[in-house]
């Protein structure tokens, strides 16, 4: 039964690591936005293409953050490994 506590503790640590993806995503999005604004200030004639590329990059970065959240939720609430361990112990 002590193995169950170890597995659940490791699952919580892994979920926290998956949620760190959201923190890094935030920093990445801030960098993309700041570089895009700087590029538009340097070349105003290319603002439309820079803005389009920025929005595509922000969408990809946000998707990465959402995947990290989804993985953390699955690991915490629907983890099949915990059920397998419970069946092995019983």
Helix (H/G/I), strand (E/B), else coil: 79: coil
Model pLDDT for residues 70-82, shown as the tens digit of each residue = 999 998 888 777 7
Domain-wise residue ranges, the chain: 2-89
pLDDT tens-digit map of 12-37 = 998 999 999 888 899 999 999 999 99
The domain 2-89 is placed in CATH, from the list 1.20.20.10, 3.20.20.140, 2.60.40.10, 3.90.226.10, at 1.20.20.10
Sign of CA dihedral 16, 17, 20, 21: negative
Residues 6+ apart with CB under 8 A from 20: 68
For the chain, the farthest-separated pair of C-alpha atoms sits apart, in whole angstroms, at 69
Instruction: Determine how many CB atoms are found less than 10 A away from the CB of residue 34.
Output: 10
The predicted model scores a pTM of 0.73
């Amino acid at each position: 039964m002590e193995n169950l506590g170890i597995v659940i503790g490791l699952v919580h640590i892994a979920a926290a690591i998956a949620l760190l993806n959201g923190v890094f995503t935030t920093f990445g999005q801030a960098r993309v936005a700041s570089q895009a604004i700087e590029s538009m200030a340097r070349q105003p004639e290319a603002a439309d293409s820079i803005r389009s590329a920025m929005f595509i990059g922000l969408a990809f970065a946000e998707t990465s953050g959402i995947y990290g959240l989804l993985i953390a939720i699955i690991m915490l609430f629907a983890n099949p490994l915990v059920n397998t361990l419970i069946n092995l112990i019983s």
